[in-house]
């Protein structure tokens, strides 16, 4: 039996796509092994959001070659899509797949095996010509309590800093029938939480809509909740653009307690001039008003966000505006990124690029603020009793899991708790979240 090993960089969409490809290999009789083990095939699912992501992708490709020089090395994902020529030049690469045609990954690997690695197999196509969602069912269930379900592909926002529209192509949505079928399969496999993911999740359904029927993310959420029935305990959304949070989405969250009170709404900057330069479609005042409106309707909601430090043209005064704005916002968690210059994006050509050391300094300053706000948020739960979906056994006798509003909680417990929702009395702030005692 041939052995295959996977490793994944990047977002939750990439994680889902790796699980799909793992299932394809398992269906053909391959044995899954860890990426640091000897394998006949190594698959690296790459990221291209930042230059660091591409650097790590190259490092992992080379590591696979050192682990077994005779193995087939297949490279997939965003880095393959936007820079197939660079990937092709890395020694040992046998198969290159972009962000389309992942359904053929086993076929392509076996073609490379058949020709004894004498011919490199490059299956990267023009992603801008993609018209339909690549609907690959999960042939094997991943070993977690939360299941990612990708329902949308592509992005047409074209933020000036972002390479993703060029890596993922135009908008394509999974059909509601397919979403229902996959939900039923995941629930039958024992998953109690489903996370809807997509590259531009809020745009779900635009390509499926017509004059007679408009299809939106709310329809996808309702489909999952209906198909999951009483066995589905939680539905969570991936990252969503703030301007795409509809009244009907919040109304569904209010109506159905299974819909997690958590929204990840990227801010990216707290200065309006930088938001305009980024081609973001809102102002800080509009963003603030939206969050206030959501919290008025769903008081216990957690809002998490992304912020970029050191975007081209960002002055000290503009960065100070971001610090001031973020300081007044009720964020539960903030992901901070120094601006990464991506060749092929408009921002890469902007004048007044911020020096690397200054970007690093600003990112560190933002991270300190983010850490303070996270601690304040976590402290607000001390003394409360929260429902936790236990999903990880950290060490013998130590479990961790998430609340509905995306706070990690640690507690003493046994393996039998994993996959179940238990009530925990919160005692103190601990690590990146909270510590508590299981009471139910």
Residues 9 and 47: beta-carbon distance below 8 Å: yes
Mean pLDDT computed over 24-41 = 95
Coil, strand or helix at 195: strand
State phi, psi for 139 to the nearest 5 degrees. -90, -15
Q: Which domain holds residue 231?
A: 146-379
- pLDDT band at residue 419 under the 50/70/90 scheme: confident
Residue 190 to residue 199: CA distance in whole angstroms: 26
Specify whether 49 is located in the same domain as 119.
Answer: yes
Could you tell me the pLDDT band of residue 143, with boundaries at 50, 70 and 90?
low
Residue 306 lies in a domain: yes
Mean pLDDT computed over every residue of the chain: 94
Same domain, yes or no, for 346 and 244?
yes
pTM of the complete model: 0.93
- pLDDT of amino acid 391: 85
Is there a domain that residue 393 lies in?
yes
Residue 139 lies in a domain: no
Kindly state whether residues 369 and 418 are assigned to the same domain. no
What is the separation of C-alpha 135 from the centre of its chain, rounded to a whole number of angstroms? 18
Confidence bin at 159 (pLDDT 50/70/90): very high
Q: Last residue of a domain, which of 72, 94, 125?
A: 125
Confidence of residue 249 (pLDDT cuts 50, 70, 90): very high
pLDDT of residue 116: 85
Task: Identify the pLDDT of residue 8.
Answer: 96
CATH of the domain at 7: 3.40.50.12160
Quick: pLDDT tens for 108-130. Answer: 999 999 988 888 999 999 999 99
Say if CB 192 and CB 419 are below 8 A apart. yes
Considering the domain boundaries, does residue 101 fall inside one?
Answer: yes
Mean pLDDT of the region 251-270: 97
Q: What integer pLDDT is reported at residue 142 of this predicted model? A: 63
Are 182 and 227 in contact by the 8 Å Cβ rule? The answer is: no
Task: Tell me which of 170-174, 390-394, 421-425 is least confident.
Answer: 390-394
* One domain for residues 357 and 390: no
Q: Are residues 168 and 273 in the same domain?
A: yes
**Same-domain pairing of 352 and 397:** no
Residue 40 has pLDDT above 80, yes or no: yes
Are residue 259 and residue 356 in the same domain, yes or no? yes
Last residue of a domain, one of 73, 94, 125: 125
Question: How far apart are alpha carbons 46 and 10 in whole angstroms?
Answer: 7
Contacts of 57 (CB under 8 A, 6+ apart): 9, 44, 46, 47, 48, 75, 77, 79
Asked whether residue 139 carries a pLDDT value surpassing 80, the answer given is no
The CATH number of whichever domain residue 316 belongs to comes to 3.80.30.20
Name the band, by pLDDT with cuts 50, 70 and 90, for residue 144. Answer: low
Tokens 């939360």 -> residue: 146
**E-strand stretches of 353-395:** 385-395
Q: Which tens digit of pLDDT belongs to each residue from 361-379?
A: 999 999 999 999 999 999 9
398 and 373 share a domain? no
Q: What is the pLDDT of residue 281?
A: 95
Asked if residue 401 and residue 336 are part of one domain, the reply reads no
CA atoms of 216 and 214, how far apart (whole Å): 7
The helix/strand count (H/E) of the chain reads as: 13, 18
The rounded distance, in Å, linking the Cα atoms of 319 and 363 is 10
Segment 301-315 shows an average pLDDT of 98
- Rounded mean pLDDT of 89-103? 95
pLDDT > 80? residue 393: no
In a domain, 92, yes or no: yes
Which pLDDT band holds residue 418 (cuts at 50, 70, 90)? confident
Query: Is there a domain that residue 113 lies in?
Result: yes
Q: Tokens 């972009």, residue?
A: 98
430 in the same domain as 337: no
Q: Which of 90, 125, 160 is the last residue of a domain?
A: 125
The domain tally of the chain equals 3
Q: Give me the mean pLDDT over the 139-159 stretch.
A: 86
Location of structure tokens 């013998």: 396
Contact 26/140 with Cβ under 8 angstroms? yes
415 confidence band (pLDDT: 50, 70, 90): confident
Residue 132 domain-assigned (yes or no): no
Mean pLDDT within 215-223: 98
pLDDT at 300 over 90: yes
> How far is residue 8's CA from residue 236's CA, in Å, rounded to a whole number?
22
Report the range of poorest mean pLDDT among 81-85, 391-395, 422-426. 391-395
* Confidence (pLDDT) at 327: 97
Q: How many Å apart are CA 415 and CA 400, to the nearest integer? A: 11
| Residue 410 belongs to a domain | yes
Q: For residues 320 and 396, what is the distance between their CA atoms, to the nearest angstrom?
A: 45
| Domain co-membership, 328 together with 281 | yes
Angle at 141 between CA 138 and CA 146, to 5 degrees: 105
* pLDDT band at residue 395 using 50, 70 and 90 as cut-offs: confident
One domain, residues 184 and 268? yes
Angle at 424 between CA 420 and CA 425, to 5 degrees: 175
């Amino acid at each position: 039996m041939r052995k295959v090993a996977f490793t994944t960089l990047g977002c939750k969409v990439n994680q889902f796509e790796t699980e799909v490809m793992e299932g394809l290999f398992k269906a053909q009789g391959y044995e899954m092994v860890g990426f640091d083990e000897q394998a006949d095939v190594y698959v690296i699912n790459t990221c291209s959001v930042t230059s660091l992501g591409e650097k790590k992708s190259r490092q992992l490709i080379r590591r696979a070659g050192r682990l077994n020089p005779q193995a087939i090395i297949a490279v997939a994902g965003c880095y393959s899509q936007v820079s197939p020529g660079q990937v092709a030049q890395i020694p040992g690469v046998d198969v290159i797949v972009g962000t389309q045609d992942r359904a053929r990954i086993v076929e392509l690997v076996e073609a490379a095996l058949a020709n004894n690695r004498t011919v490199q197999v490059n299956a990267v196509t023009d992603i801008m010509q993609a018209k339909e969602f690549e609907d690959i069912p999960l042939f094997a269930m991943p070993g977690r309590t939360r299941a990612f379900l990708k329902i949308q592909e592509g992005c047409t926002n074209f933020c000036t800093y972002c390479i993703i529209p060029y890596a993922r192509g135009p908008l394509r949505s999974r059909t509601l029938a397919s979403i229902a079928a996959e939900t039923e399969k995941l629930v039958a496999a024992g998953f109690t939480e489903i996370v809807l993911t997509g590259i531009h999740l809020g745009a779900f359904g635009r390509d499926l809509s017509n004059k007679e029927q408009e299809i939106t993310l709310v329809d996808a959420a309702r489909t999952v909740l209906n198909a999951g029935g009483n066995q589905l305990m939680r539905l969570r959304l991936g990252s969503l653009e703030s301007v795409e949070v509809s009244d009907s989405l919040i109304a569904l969250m209010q109506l159905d307690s299974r819909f997690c009170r958590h929204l990840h709404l990227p801010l990216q900057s707290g200065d309006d001039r930088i938001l305009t330069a980024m081609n973001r479609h809102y102002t800080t005042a509009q963003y603030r008003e939206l969050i206030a409106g959501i919290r008025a309707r769903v008081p216990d909601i957690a809002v998490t966000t992304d912020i970029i430090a050191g975007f081209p043209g960002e002055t000290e005064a503009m960065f100070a505006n971001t610090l001031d704005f973020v300081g007044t916002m009720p964020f539960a968690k903030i992901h901070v990124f120094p601006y990464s210059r991506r060749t092929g994006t408009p921002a890469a050509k902007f004048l007044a690029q911020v020096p690397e050391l200054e970007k690093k300094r600003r990112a560190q300053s933002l991270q300190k603020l983010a850490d303070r706000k996270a601690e304040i948020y976590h402290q607000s739960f001390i003394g409360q009793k929260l429902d936790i979906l236990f999903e990880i056994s950290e060490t013998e006798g130590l479990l961790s899991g998430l609340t509905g509003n995306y706070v990690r909680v640690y507690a003493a417990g046994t393996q039998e708790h994993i996959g179940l929702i238990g009530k925990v009395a919160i005692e103190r702030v601990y690590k990146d979240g909270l510590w508590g005692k299981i009471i139910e």
